[in-house]
C-alpha cells in the first residue's frame, strides 16, 4: 500500500550531501526549460582533424584547477554543503578589465571539470574529473564560464574522454546555456559548436580521446554553461517531488517515501502511483532511472513518464486503475550530485551490482531488488523498465532478455513491447537497434536481475545523447522529445495489456516475420527458429550488445 514517511514531509527533502572532500559553491544553479522553435539538426562532420594537444601544462597556462583532495581511495563521510571552511580559488584571477581569460567553475551540483589550460588567446584545453574514487569514466561534462566575449571564435578541447567511439563523430553537438539569453529572451539550453572532432588523443594505456569544438558566445560579459546533455540534478528532482506532494490532486494517487538512504545519506525516493481505493488484484509496473549519473536524458524521459501518469488524461486514469506503479526516479543520487559519469561513491558501476550487492555498498540497487522480490511474492510484475542514456548509437531502443531456452511464443513476446513502442514513436524509436541477448557480462544489470527474479518483460530503455535519424529526422532530441518518450511508454503499456488480442497477435506475427528475415528465410516459409541461439539471431544485424551497450 502507498505510504509516506512518518514525521514532517520536509525530512524527505534535506539539502544534498556531498563527500567532505568536495568543495561546493554557495550559489544555486537553476536553468529554465525551453524547446527550440525548430528541431536542431546534427552538425555536419568536419574535415581534417585539428592538432592534438599533449597533456603537458608547459604548453599553456593553467587557469582553473579543482581536484578534491581525496582522503584515501574510498568514500569515508559526507555532509550537507561538502567541505567545511572557506573555499579555495581554483580559477586564476583576472589582471584587469582588458584580460579576456575565461573564468571557469564546476563546483556545483552535477558539475564536472577538473582543469582548464589556456593555450591561446581564445583556446582552452580541458580535463574532466574521473568518477570519484576511480581513475576512469570521463564522459559527462557540465561547467560554467564567465567573462565571455562575443566577437572571437573560441576553441575548446576536452583532452581526456574515455570512450573510443562517440556520437560527437556523427553530428552530436555540445549544449550551451546563456544566462543573459535566459533572462532577457527566455532561451534555454541550445546546441552549439562547429568543427566538432572526436579523435584519439594520447597513445598511452589506457588511451584517451579528444573532443574539440569551436563556438562564439552570444554576449560580452555573459555567464554561460556547457554540458554533455540537458542537466537534471538531485535538487531538480527534489523540486519536482515537493511540488507533487503539495498538489492536492496528484498527491491523492502518488505517495512519495524513502526507499533507502545512499552512501552519502541522500534519500533514494520511491513513488507509488495508483488510483485511490486499494491495490487488490492490480498488477505492478516497476520503473527506475539514473543508475548512471551521466545519462541525464533518462531523467527527462522519466519526468515525462511521471508527468503523464499523474495527469488528468483519460489514459492516465485508466493506467492508475489497472496498475500499481513503483518508480525510483534516481537510483544513484550521490553520483548525480558529484557529477560522476557512471559510478556511485562505492567507485563502481551500480548497474553491474544487482544480486551481489550488499546493502551497505549499493543501497539503491539492493533495496530496489528487495522491493521487487517482496512485490513478486504477492502479485505479478508485468513490466520493469530501467531508463538509461547511450553515447554511441542514435535514436531510442531497448535491451530485453532472451536466453534462448524458452518456447517460440515466449521469445516472440519478449520482442512485442519494443515493437509496439516503435509503432507509437516511429520518429524516435528504432526496433532494429534493439537487442535481446543475455550475455554473461550483463547478468548483474537491473534488466537481467529482474528477469531472473521472475519479471517476464524486463527492459533497459536506451535514449541516445544525440537525437533521431528516423522518420525523416536528422536532428537532436529536445527536452520535449525526451519527455514525450515517457508518455509514449504509457501508451505502449496500454496497447501491450489490451484485453482485446488484435494488437498483440499482429505484433507477434510481425516479430516472427522479422526474425525469419534475419535468418535469411522467406517470411511465412515455416521452419522452426526456436532452437536458434539469441547470438545467432542477432549476428546478422549490428553485432552483439556488448560492443555498444552503455546500460
Distance CA 428, CA 392 (A): 16
pLDDT > 60? residue 97: yes
Summarised one tens digit per residue, pLDDT across range 386-430 is 999 999 999 999 999 987 777 788 889 999 999 999 999 999 999
Summarised one tens digit per residue, pLDDT across range 210-227 is 999 999 999 999 999 999
Distance CA 523, CA 540 (A): 16
Q: Indicate the pLDDT class of residue 69, thresholds 50, 70 and 90.
A: low
The mean of the pLDDT values for the chain is 90
Of 2-11, 48-57, 337-346, the poorest mean pLDDT is in: 2-11
- The architecture (CATH level 2) of 25-228 comes to Sandwich (2.60)
The reported pLDDT for the residue numbered 72 is: 61
pLDDT > 90? residue 439: no
The reported pLDDT for the residue numbered 443 is: 87
pLDDT > 90? residue 526: no
Domains 25-228 and 234-519 share a fold: no
User: What are the φ/ψ torsions at residue 366 (nearest 5 degrees)?
Assistant: -65, -45
Q: Indicate the pLDDT class of residue 530, thresholds 50, 70 and 90.
A: low
pLDDT > 80? residue 1: no
DSSP class per residue in 358-397? -TTTSHHHHHHHHHHHHHHTTS-EEEEEEEEEESSS-SEE
The reported pLDDT for the residue numbered 57 is: 57
If one compares 3 and 125, the residue with the highest pLDDT of the two is: 125
Rg, Å, the chain Cα set: 24
| C-alpha cell at position 153 | 571564435
Q: Indicate the pLDDT class of residue 202, thresholds 50, 70 and 90.
A: confident
The reported pLDDT for the residue numbered 529 is: 61
Average pLDDT over residues 461-489: 97
If one compares 50 and 435, the residue with the highest pLDDT of the two is: 435
The reported pLDDT for the residue numbered 485 is: 98
If one compares 550 and 174, the residue with the highest pLDDT of the two is: 174
Average pLDDT over residues 530-539: 72
- Domain 234-519 sits in CATH 3.90.420.10: no
Domain spans of the chain? Answer: 25-228, 234-519
Q: Indicate the pLDDT class of residue 544, thresholds 50, 70 and 90.
A: very low
Q: Indicate the pLDDT class of residue 277, thresholds 50, 70 and 90.
A: confident
> Model-level pTM?
0.94
| C-alpha cell at position 325 | 506503479
The reported pLDDT for the residue numbered 6 is: 41
Determine contact, residues 200/49, Cβ cutoff 8 Å.
no
Average pLDDT over residues 446-474: 96
Residues 6+ apart with CB under 8 A from 55: 125, 127, 159, 160, 201, 202, 208
**Residue 322: in which H helix or E strand, if any?**
helix 314-322
**Residue 318: in which H helix or E strand, if any?**
helix 314-322
Summarised one tens digit per residue, pLDDT across range 235-272 is 999 999 999 999 999 999 999 999 999 999 999 999 99
Residues belonging to the active site: 462
The reported pLDDT for the residue numbered 47 is: 58
Of 16-30, 358-372, 526-540, the poorest mean pLDDT is in: 526-540
Average pLDDT over residues 507-512: 92
The reported pLDDT for the residue numbered 404 is: 73
Summarised one tens digit per residue, pLDDT across range 126-141 is 999 999 999 999 999 9
Of 41-55, 132-146, 162-176, 349-363, the poorest mean pLDDT is in: 41-55
Q: Indicate the pLDDT class of residue 339, thresholds 50, 70 and 90.
A: very high
Of 142-151, 181-190, 439-448, 465-474, the poorest mean pLDDT is in: 439-448
Amino acid at each position: 500500500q502507498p505510504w509516506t514517511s512518518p514525521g514532517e514531509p520536509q525530512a524527505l527533502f534535506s539539502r544534498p550531501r556531498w563527500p567532505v572532500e568536495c568543495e561546493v559553491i554557495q550559489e544555486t544553479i537553476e536553468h529554465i526549460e525551453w524547446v527550440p522553435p525548430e528541431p536542431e539538426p546534427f552538425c555536419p562532420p568536419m574535415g581534417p582533424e585539428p592538432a592534438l594537444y599533449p597533456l603537458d601544462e608547459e604548453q599553456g597556462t593553467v587557469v582553473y584547477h579543482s581536484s578534491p583532495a581525496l582522503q584515501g581511495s574510498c568514500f569515508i563521510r559526507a555532509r550537507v554543503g561538502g567541505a567545511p571552511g572557506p573555499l579555495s580559488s581554483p580559477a586564476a584571477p583576472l589582471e584587469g578589465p582588458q584580460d579576456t581569460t575565461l573564468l571557469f567553475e564546476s563546483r556545483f551540483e552535477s558539475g564536472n571539470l577538473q582543469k582548464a589550460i589556456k593555450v591561446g588567446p581564445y583556446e582552452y584545453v580541458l580535463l574532466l574529473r574521473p568518477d570519484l574514487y576511480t581513475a576512469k569514466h570521463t564522459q559527462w561534462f557540465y561547467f560554467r564560464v564567465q567573462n565571455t566575449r562575443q566577437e572571437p571564435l573560441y576553441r575548446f578541447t576536452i583532452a581526456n574522454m574515455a570512450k573510443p567511439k562517440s556520437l560527437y563523430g556523427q553530428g552530436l553537438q555540445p549544449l550551451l546555456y546563456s544566462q543573459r539569453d535566459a533572462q532577457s529572451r527566455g532561451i534555454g539550453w541550445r546546441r552549439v559548436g562547429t568543427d566538432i572532432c572526436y579523435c584519439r588523443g594520447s597513445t598511452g594505456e589506457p588511451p584517451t580521446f579528444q573532443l574539440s569544438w569551436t563556438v562564439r558566445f552570444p554576449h560580452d560579459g555573459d555567464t554561460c554553461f556547457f554540458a554533455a546533455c540537458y542537466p537534471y540534478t538531485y535538487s531538480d528532482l527534489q523540486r519536482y517531488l515537493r511540488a507533487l506532494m503539495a498538489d492536492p490532486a496528484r498527491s491523492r494517487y502518488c505517495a512519495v517515501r524513502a526507499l533507502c538512504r545512499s552512501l552519502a545519506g541522500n534519500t533514494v525516493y520511491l513513488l507509488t502511483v495508483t488510483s485511490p481505493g486499494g491495490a487488490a488484484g492490480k498488477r505492478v509496473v516497476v520503473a527506475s532511472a539514473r543508475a548512471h549519473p551521466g545519462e541525464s536524458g533518462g531523467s527527462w524521459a522519466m519526468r515525462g513518464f511521471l508527468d503523464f501518469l499523474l495527469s488528468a488524461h483519460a489514459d492516465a486514469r485508466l493506467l492508475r486503475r489497472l496498475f500499481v506503479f513503483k518508480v525510483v526516479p534516481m537510483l544513484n543520487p550521490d553520483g548525480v550530485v558529484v557529477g560522476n559519469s557512471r559510478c556511485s561513491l562505492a567507485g563502481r558501476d551500480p548497474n553491474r551490482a544487482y544480486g551481489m550487492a550488499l546493502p551497505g555498498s549499493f543501497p539503491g540497487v539492493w533495496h530496489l531488488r528487495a522491493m521487487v522480490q517482496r512485490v513478486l511474492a504477492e502479485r505479478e510484475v508485468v513490466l520493469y523498465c530501467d531508463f538509461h542514456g547511450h553515447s554511441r548509437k542514435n535514436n531510442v531502443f531497448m535491451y530485453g532478455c532472451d536466453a534462448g531456452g524458452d518456447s517460440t511464443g515466449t521469445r516472440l513476446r519478449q520482442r512485442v513491447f519494443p515493437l509496439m513502442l516503435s509503432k507509437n514513436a516511429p520518429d524516435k524509436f528504432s526496433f532494429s537497434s534493439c537487442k535481446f541477448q543475455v550475455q554473461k557480462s550483463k547478468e548483474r544489470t537491473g534488466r537481467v536481475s529482474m528477469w531472473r527474479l521472475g519479471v517476464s518483460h524486463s527492459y533497459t530503455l536506451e535514449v541516445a545523447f544525440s537525437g533521431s535519424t528516423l522518420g525523416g529526422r536528422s536532428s537532436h532530441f529536445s527536452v520535449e522529445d525526451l519527455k514525450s518518450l515517457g508518455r509514449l511508454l504509457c501508451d505502449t503499456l496500454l496497447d501491450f495489456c489490451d484485453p482485446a488480442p488484435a494488437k498483440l497477435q499482429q505484433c507477434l506475427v510481425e516479430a516472427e516475420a522479422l526474425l525469419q528475415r534475419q535468418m535469411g528465410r522467406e517470411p511465412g516459409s515455416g521452419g522452426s527458429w526456436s532452437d536458434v541461439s539469441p547470438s545467432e539471431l542477432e549476428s546478422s544485424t549490428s553485432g552483439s550488445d556488448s560492443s555498444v551497450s552503455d546500460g
